[in-house]
Structure 1
Amino acid sequence: MSDRKRGFPSTRLNHFGRKSPLFARQIRAESVSARGFLLSLLDRRAALTLLAGGAVAANLSPGQADARPASFSFETVRARARALAGRPYVAPPPPPAQVAAMNYDAAQAVGFYREKIPLWGGDWGIELFPLSQGVSKTVTIHLVEDGRAKPLAYDPTMFSSPAGSPVRALPAKAGFSGFRAISRDDRGEWLVFHGASYFRSPAPFGQYGLSARAIAADTYAVQPEEFPDWREVWLERDAQERLVIHALMESPGIVGAYRFVNDRDGLALTQTVQASVFFRRAFDQMGLAPLTSMFWYGEDRAVPAVDWRPEIHDSDGLAIWTGAGERLWRPLSNPRRVVTSVFSDQTPKGFGLIQRDRDFEHYHDDQAKAERRPSVWVEPIGDWGKGSVRLVEIPTDSETNDNIVAFWTPDAPVKAGSKVELSYRLHWTADAPETELAKVVATRSGRPGEPGRDTAAQGRKVAVEFRGANLLALRTAIDIEADVTARNGQIRLLSHYPGARHENETDALWRVTFDVVCDGAEPADVRVVLRQNGRPLSETWTALIFPPAP
C-alpha cells in the first residue's frame, strides 16, 4: 500500500511520500506498457538533486554560517536558470552508500527535533527530511533573511531516531532530501516538497491526496516523459510572515525558476506561483501547472468488485471554467487503454482535479479518509492565450500509483532555446469555485435499453445526476430541456426528471438518462447540460463513452 493512501502523523518524517461548444478530443489511446509514466511513478519521489556548481550546503559544518551571505531575489534564481539552460546537463552525484539501508520503515521512524527548526514564521516552521531509499538525491536548502541567502548545513542532530537506526550512519555531510512546513500549533504539517518537482498539501481537511508539480514534460507523448528535480530551494519569511519558496528545477531538457507565495486562511491554502522555464530541447507536449491524482473506481464501477470499499479515488472529476464562461465537468475514469483528452480553449479562467463526493458512506474507509481528500483549482494570472487543458487517464488495478494527470498545454510549440513565463494560483480547496449552476454529483452507466424489456439493445445506458439550489423551484416546470449531443455516436431513449423530494431540502436533484451507441470502434464524445429557454441551468457534463469490449 502506498504511503500516500494514509494520513501522516505530524511527529514523523514519513511523507513518502473552451470555446462553446467544447468537446473533449481523444488524441491518443494506446496500450499500457512498462515504459513512461507508470514506471516513473514508482520513483516519482526520487529526491531533489544537488545543482552542480551551486552552493554546496552539505559541505558546511553543522550550524556553520556563511560569513558573506549573498544578496538574493527571485531574479537570482531566474538568472541561474537562464545560464544553466545554455550549458549541457550535468547529472547529480550518486547518493552515499549508507542510504541503501534507509528503507521505508526506517524513514518512518525518523523524527525532527522542534528546537532544531531552522526557520519560523507567524504560525509555521520548517522541518527537513534526510536521505532515504525512496528519496535518495540531495537538494541544497538556503535560508533567506533581509535579502541575503545562506546555505543551511546538514546537521545529524536535527533528527530523532531509535537506537540502531540507519539514519545515524549517514555521512556527516549527507544533505537533505526535501522539507515540509508545519503549524506552530498542533494542526500538523500543511505543505511538503519531497521528490522530483512534486509538492502537496493536506489543506483544507488535513488529509493528503493529489499532488501538484512544477511541470509535466511529454506525459504519454511521442517521446518518453522527462521528470525534472528541484535542485536548490531558498526559504524565506516575508513581511507578512508568509512562507515564500524560491526553487531551481532541472532535468536534461528543462531548467526552471519557480516562486511560491503561500497564503493560509485557517486550514485553507492558496499558493501564488511565478515560473520561468527554459528548454534545452524541443518537446511534443508540455504540461504547465500539472496536477496528479488517482482514480481506481467510483459509483460507476465498470469491473467486478475486487475490493470491499464502494469507491476508491483521490479525485472524481476534472472541472474547467473556459474563457467563454462555460463550466465543464468531466468525470474521471479508469479506462481499458491510455486516453489523452484535449479541451481546446483561449484565456481559460481555471481548471482543477476535484474530489466532489464528500460522503463517508460512499467510501467506508476509516484510514484513507477519501472524503477528506483535497481538490486543487488552478487559477491563471494574466492571459494564457490559446492552448488546451489536457487530461491523461491511465489504466490501473490498484490505488498504489497515480494514474490521472491534468495540465495546460500552450498551442505554441516548445522548441530548443525557447522559454515560458507563467503565473497562476493554486487553491487547495473542497471544490471548484462556486457557481449558481447545478453541479454534477454522480455518473452511472449500465446495460442499455428499457429495464426488463429490451435486453438486446445496443450501446450503453448512462445516468447523469445534477444537484443545485436553482433546481428546487423547477420540479414542476415544463420547459426544462436536457440538451444531449454526441460526436461519433447516437443518443437513444433520452429521459430526464427531478429526483425524489426530501423533507427540509435546500436543493434538488435532476437525473438525465440515455443510451449511447458508438458509430464505430472509437468512443462517442457526449455532452449533457440542463437548459430552460436556452439558458444553462447546470454545468456541462462531458465524457467519452467507449463501445462494449469485444
Structure 2
Amino acid sequence: MDLLPTETSRNAAPALSGGPRHALNQTCHPRARRGWRIVFTVLLGACTLIAAQAGHAFGFEDVAKQARTLAGSRFKPQDPNLPKELQGLTYDRYRNIRFKPERAYWRGAKLPFELMFFHEGSYYDRPVKINELAPQGVREIRYSPDMFDFGPNKIDPKQLRNLGFAGFRVHYPVNTTKYKDEVLVFLGASYFRAVGRDQIYGLSARALALDTALNSGEEFPRFTEFWIQRPAAGAKDLTIYALLDSSRATGAYRFILRPGTDTVVDVKAQLFLRENVTKLGMAPLTSMFFFGENQASAVADYRPEVHDSDGLSIQSGTGEWIWRPLINPKRLQVSSFALTNPLGFGLMQRDRSFTSYEDLDDHYEKRPSAWVEPKGNWGRGRVELVQIPTPDETNDNIVAYWVPDAPPRPKQPYSFEYRLSWQKDNDKRPSLAWVSQSRRGHGYRGKPDDSLLFAVDFEGPALKKLAADAKVEGNVSLDANGKILELVTQRNEVTGGWRVMMRMRRLDTEKPVEMRAYLRSGSTTLSETWSYLLPPE
C-alpha cells in the first residue's frame, strides 16, 4: 500500500524549508529568479495539496474503497511462503515459537494497550500485513525474526527474513493494574476471540461465514491487512480496521475494542460479493461441545462435562427468549430459527460451577459466553445452528450465525453493525426465568423400556417472587415423532426454581424429535422457551 499524504508531507517538509525558499533570497539572474518563481508556485501548490490531504485521517471508508476495488477484480489467492523448517509443525512445536514480551509494540511509550505478534508456521502459512495508524500517518509494522524466541525448534533465522506476521494479539490490564492481560487475538482466516475479567479463551468469532454445512463446501474468507490506531495515553478503547478477501467476497471491517469485566467489541462491516453465494452467515460464532449434563460421554471420563458452550440463546424481535441446549450428534445437524429483526443471539456457557467440569487444567467454567447484539434492523432471516460430530474436545464442532433472507447482490455494498460481548458473570439472559440445566436419562424405573426422561430446571427472579402455593405448569410440546408418556412440574426447593419432568417415547428412532417447554401460571408466561433437538439413534 502507498503511504498516505500525511507520511509524504512529513518527509517533504525539511526539503521545502531548506531548499528553494532559501534560494529566493539570493541575488541571481532575472531569468533565474523567474524560474525560481515558477518552481516556488508549483511547490506552493504542492504544499497546499499536501496540507489539505494531511487533514484526511485514515478510516473505515478507506478500507471500504479497497474492498470495493478488490470485488471488481479477479480474486488472486496468496501463495504460502513457509520454508521447510516451518511446514508441518505440530501444535506444540508451533506454540514453542513465542514473541519476546520485551519487544511488545508501544511498551516503550507506556501506553495502556500493547501489541504482540504471531509467527507464521503450521496452518498459518500466509502473512498478514499489519499497520499502525499514528499521528504522522500509516506506518507498516515490519516483521523480524529477532522478535521471536523459537524455543527447542531448530530454525535458522536467516531463512525467515522474507516472512511476515500470522496475526497479532492485544494486551490490556483487566485483572490487575500490574500486568497487561492478553484480551484479543486475530489469528487464522477471519477468526478472532477475546476475554474479559477472570475469563480464559474458549469460543471464537469470525468476520464472515460462507456456505457453512453445504455439500458444495465452505469458503473461509481471510483478513489480509490490518490498520491499528495508536491509542492515546489514557485510552480505554482501541480501534482496528481490517480488509477481508476471498474467492467470492471482500469486505471492510472496523473493530472497537473495550476491555473490561465484559470485554466488548463493536463491529462495523461493509461487504462486496464478487458473485452470488448460497448462504451468507453474519456474525458467526464457533465453539466446542463434546459432552455434558444432557449427553454423557461415550467413554469413561472423570469429568462430568466438557464444552466451551452449553447452549444457543436467542432473543427474538418480539421479546421471546429461546434456549437450545447443544449436543454432539452422530451426524451433521442443522437447525434454523426464523426471525425478524432479532435483538440478539449467542453461544453461552451458563454452567459456571467448577464441580460441573472438575478440570484443573482447562477450567471450562471460566470460558466466556459470546453475545451478538445487532445495531439497527437486520430484517427477516434466521439464526442457524450447525452441530457437527466430534470424537474429542480438540475440534470446534458448533457454529451459529445470522442468515438474511435477502442476501446482497454482487458488487453492491452490504453494510451491518453489531456489538459482540464476551461475558461470564453477567451473561445475557431473560429477566423472568431461564433454563439452568437440561438432564436426560432412561425413562423407566424397574422394567426396561424405550422411554426417555428429561428433567429441565428453570431459575430466575420471576420464580422466586411466586407465592409458595402458586400454580405453575410446564407447557410442553413435541413434534409428530414424539409422544409424551408422563409430565410433572414441581418446585425445586434447593434452587428456588421449578423443574419440568417429562417421560417420552420416540416413535421412529431413525428420525429426530423437536421438543419445546416453558413455564406459565395461568395465561402468564414465566420463562424462556426450552427448545431441544433429540437426534436420531
TM-score range, shorter chain: 0.7 to 0.9
Tell me how far 1:109 sits from its aligned partner. 2.9
Shift of 1:418: 4.2
For residues 396 and 496 of structure 2, what CA distance do their matches in structure 1 show?
34
Task: Show the counterpart of 1:59.
Answer: none
**Distance in 2 separating the partners of 1:131 and 1:55:** 24
CA contact (8 A) 1:392 1:406 kept: yes
CA–CA separation in structure 1 for the residues paired with 2:443 and 2:96: 53
Once the two structures are TM-superposed, the CA of residue 519 in structure 1 deviates from its matched residue by 4.8
Q: Secondary structure at the match of 2:514?
A: strand
Higher relative contact order (CA closer than 8 Å, sequence separation 6+): 1
Match of 1:117 in 2: 104
**Structure 1's 241 and 537: CA in aligned 2 closer, same or farther, altered over 3 A?**
closer
CA deviation after TM superposition for structure 1 residue 533, in Å: 2.1
Higher helix content, 1 or 2: 2
Match of 1:433 among 418, 428, 435: 428
Counterpart of 2:288, as a letter, is: M
Contact 1:122 1:241 in 2 (8 A): no
Q: Deviations over 1:457-486 (max 9, x none)?
A: x44221111122332343633421211112
Matched-pair contact (CA < 8 Å) for 2:113–2:231? no
Residue 286 to residue 163, structure 1, CA distance change in 2 (3 Å): closer
Q: Does 1:154 align with 2:143?
A: yes
Partner Cα separation in structure 2 for residue 483 and residue 147 of structure 1: 64
Aligned match of 1:393: 387
Change over 3 Å in CA distance of 1:181–1:167 after alignment to 2: farther
Closer, same or farther in 2 for the Cα pair 1:155/1:467, shift >3 Å? same
Deviation at 1:134, TM superposition (A): 3.0
Conserved 8 A contact 2:293-2:440: no
Aligned residues of 1:202 and 1:374 also touching (Cα < 8 A): yes
Q: Distance in 1 between matches of 2:219 and 2:183?
A: 28
Asked if 2 retains the 8 angstrom alpha-carbon contact of 1:103 and 1:134, the reply is: no
Q: 2:77 is paired with a residue of what secondary structure? A: coil
Once the two structures are superposed, the pairs formed by residues 9-28 of structure 1 within 5 Å of their partners are none
Q: Residue 103 of structure 1 contacts residue 132 of structure 1 at CA under 8 Å; is this kept in 2? A: no
Match of 1:188 in 2: 181
Distance verdict in 2 for CA 1:133–1:424, change over 3 Å: same
RMSD: 2.5
Q: Which amino acid aligns with 1:517?
A: R
Q: 1:223 aligns with which of 216, 225, 235?
A: 216
For residue 457 of structure 2, what is the amino acid of its counterpart? E
Give the structure 1 partner of residue 25 of structure 2: none
Shift of 1:268: 2.6
1:330 paired with 2:324, answer yes
1:349 counterpart residue number: 343
SS in 2 for 1:334: coil
Partner of 2:206: 213
Q: Is the counterpart of residue 463 in structure 1 residue 455 in structure 2?
A: yes
Residue of 293, 315, 327 corresponding to 2:309: 315
Paired position in structure 1 for 2:527: 538
1:459 to 1:164, Cα distance in 2 relative to 1, 3 A: closer
**1:154-196 CA-partner distances (Å, limit 9, x unpaired):** 2222223447642624422311111001136425211110111
Contact 1:55-1:151 within 8 A present in 2 as well:
no
Contact 2:10-2:136 within 8 A present in 1 as well: no
Mean Cα deviation higher: 98-107 or 130-139: 98-107
2:95 counterpart residue number: 108
Name the CA distance, whole Å, in 1 between partners of 2:415 and 2:103: 37
Structure 1 gap segments, 5+ residues each: 1-53, 57-64, 502-506
Cα pair distance change 1:116/1:330, threshold 3 Å? same
Would the aligned equivalents of 2:104 and 2:114 in 1 still touch at CA under 8 Å?
A: yes
Residue number in structure 1 paired with 2:193: 200
1:66-100 deviation digits (Å, cap 9, x = unpaired): 95899521111000001101111101132132432
Are residues 1:283 and 2:277 paired?
yes
| 1:34 counterpart residue number | none
- On the 8 A contact 1:320/1:329 being kept in 2, the answer is yes
- Residue matched to 1:384: 378
Q: Counterpart of 2:195 in structure 1: which amino acid?
A: P
Distance in 1 of aligned mates of 2:251 and 2:423: 26
Q: Is the 8 A contact 1:181 1:189 kept in 2?
A: yes
Partner of 1:443: 438
2:67 matches 1:81: yes
Is residue 528 from structure 1 mapped to residue 517 from structure 2 by the alignment? yes
Match of residue 99 from structure 1: 86
1:359 partnered with 2:345: no
AA aligned to 1:542 is S
**Comparing 132-141 and 486-495, the one that deviates more:** 486-495
Question: TM-score, normalization: structure 2?
Answer: 0.83
Matched-pair identity in %: 38
More off after superposition, 126-135 vs 227-236: 126-135
1:130 pairs, out of 111, 114, 119, with 119
Structure 2 CA distance for aligned equivalents of residues 254 and 317 of structure 1: 30
1:516–1:545 CA contact under 8 A, matched in 2: no
Give the unaligned 5+ runs of structure 2: 4-8, 13-53
Q: Does 1:244 align with 2:224?
A: no
- Count how many residue pairs are aligned between Structure 1 and Structure 2: 478
Equivalent of 2:254 in 252, 259, 264: 259
Query: Are 1:494 and 2:487 an aligned pair?
Result: yes
